[in-house]
Amino acid sequence: MKRYDTYNLIDINEKKGFPRTYRFNQFIRWFVILLSLFAITYSIYYIFTVIDAGSSTFRKIVPFVIIFFAANSLFRNLFSLNSLRFTRTGIEFHYIASKSISIRWEDIKKMALHSGKVRAIKLTYQVNEQPKELIFTMTFPNMLEIINSIAEMCPHLEYDEFMKNVTLTEDERAEARLKEEKQE
């Protein structure tokens, strides 16, 4: 990582302030949702108006394939994380078609890399003494900034090996602050 990038991640919550929101590009997100809805609607229309008993097998199968891919895209965009909001008391995860989740900083216990079908960040937190997990993809914009903001607000966090390498430690932050003071 370049020194300039590291400098931008030190005391990020103080520099950027609260509340602060990160989100996917809304134009792209809504364009994909509307395009998916149009593809599904047109495919259904095509099935009921154009296809008959004499249609070729290809013409019978293609609308269902289109519906499958459009529905997959639609559900991914509706139920995946849409925006993150940092506040002084915690972090809020907002979705378009799903319930939002708010987590207080003191409730977050662990941050780790989730290696599933898609690389993601797994936050382990507690609600009423019950452990819960929240997984959000690493394709979210400004992910390095988000990870380090969470780490800065939760100095008590446990990390896996990947997160230890990605987040700035308190020693690295203190060293950068000293360098910054010497330069001024």
Q: Does residue 87 lie in a domain region? A: yes
Residues in CB range of 141: below 8 A, 6 or more apart: 22, 23, 24, 25
The count of other CB atoms within 10 Å of the CB of residue 138 is 14
Q: What is the pLDDT of residue 151?
A: 86
- Asked whether the beta carbons of 86 and 147 are under 8 A apart, the reply is no
Q: Does residue 41 lie in a domain region? A: no
- Asked whether the beta carbons of 144 and 150 are under 8 A apart, the reply is no
- Asked whether the beta carbons of 101 and 122 are under 8 A apart, the reply is no
Domain span holding position 149: 3-28+79-183
Q: Does residue 161 lie in a domain region? A: yes
Q: Does residue 168 lie in a domain region? A: yes
β-pairing, 130-137 with 119-127? antiparallel
CATH classification of the domain holding 136:
2.30.29.30
Q: What is the pLDDT of residue 42?
A: 97
**Count of domains observed in the chain:** 1
Q: Does residue 160 lie in a domain region? A: yes
Q: Does residue 90 lie in a domain region? A: yes
Q: Does residue 56 lie in a domain region? A: no
Mean pLDDT of 142-146: 86
Is the peptide bond preceding residue 19 cis, with omega within 30 degrees of 0? yes
Q: Does residue 71 lie in a domain region? A: no
**Distance in angstroms (rounded) separating the CA atoms of residues 55 and 95:** 41
- Residues 67-86: tens digit of each pLDDT: 999 999 999 999 999 999 99
0.75 surpassed by pTM: yes
